[in-house]
Amino acid sequence: MLACPVCRDSLFFGDGALRCSGGHSYDVARQGYVNLLGAAEPANADTADMLDARARVHAAGVFEPVTTLLSSLTEGRRRVMEAGSGTGHYLSAALGSASDSIGLGLDVSKAAARHCLRTDPRIAAIVADVWKPLPVRDRAVEVVLAVFAPRNLPEFARILRTDGRFIAVTPRAGHLVGLRDAYGLLDVPTGKAEQVAAAAAEFFDLIDTRVVKYRLPVSEALARDLIAMGPNAFHQVPTSVAASTITIDVTVQVFQPLP
């Protein structure tokens, strides 16, 4: 499933490292992930605190309807990669219940890689830059997920099987609107799903679009975690956040590779 980032040969595991026939070798970290980044972790990589907050949000079921939909859309698929995998929550759900399913969690954050490994033993965690050529063999995966994450569309098309699926989840203008208004969080541009569809048209057919929208109450701690789990954490997370009712409002798009 994995390809050497230098020569593109297949990688295999041996003697505590991933190796290729060209002689390149990549050590497996003590925690079990492999770092193929080839550079220092960027300043915008998710931190351990951000990922811990995200894990608590997922454990509380805040995004459960989104998770359930992704699970249904990937039913029967056994080779799944998630770009910007974070904690691996969505990737684990997409793998279903089959014990022989294999998930590849790809993220620029080492903390994310460690979280993925704790989330599901079926996940292999790779530290890599989504915007560069992906360390994955051609036509090796059945599903690529990008949930609130970067989308390297040419590379996604390359690694997907001809009958594979690319699934993108993007926020709509109403997403977390209560928190955004109250605490000055980053805006969500309108038309994100339309922008994704337009950019993907060179490589994919859009075959399904779903809108998932609902409201739910959250406690003070959970509201703060919702702020602390995303890019607003790089600016300032309020020390005191009131309990409130929030809106989850996202678009889920399913694409298939062009013939």
* Residue-wise pLDDT tens digits, 187-208: 888 899 999 999 999 999 999 9
Beta-strand runs (E) in 31-177:
34-35, 79-83, 102-107, 123-127, 141-147, 160-171
- Whether 1 maps to a domain, the answer reads no
**Distance separating alpha carbons of residues 149 and 94, to the nearest angstrom:** 16
Query: Does residue 14 form part of some domain?
Result: no
What is 175-243 written as a DSSP string?
TTHHHHHHHTPPP--TTHHHHHHHHHTTTEEEEEEEEEEEEEEE-HHHHHHHHHTSGGGGT---S----
Asked whether residue 183 carries a pLDDT value surpassing 80, the answer given is: yes
Single-letter code of the amino acid located at 10:
S
22 in any annotated domain: no
Other residues' Cβ atoms within 10 Å of the Cβ of residue 212 = 17
- The H or E element that residue 151 is part of is none
Whether 147 and 70 have beta carbons less than 8 Å apart is answered as yes
Which CATH number goes with the domain that contains 122? Answer: 3.40.50.150
Total domain count for the chain? Answer: 1
Identify whether 225 is part of a domain. Answer: yes
Please tell me the predicted confidence (pLDDT) of residue 117: 97
Q: Which residue has the tokens 């994919």?
A: 204
How much is the mean pLDDT over the chain? 95
Task: Give me the residue label for tokens 């530290």.
Answer: 127
**58 lies in a domain?**
yes
In the predicted structure, residue 138 carries a pLDDT above the cut 80? yes
Minimum mean pLDDT range among 97-106, 131-140, 234-243: 234-243
Retrieve residue 161's tokens.
């099987």
Report yes or no on 16 lying in a domain.
Answer: no
User: Is residue 5 in some structural domain?
Assistant: no
Rg of the Cα atoms in the chain: 18
Is residue 241 situated within a structural domain? yes
Structure pTM?
Answer: 0.95
Give the domain extent around 58.
32-257
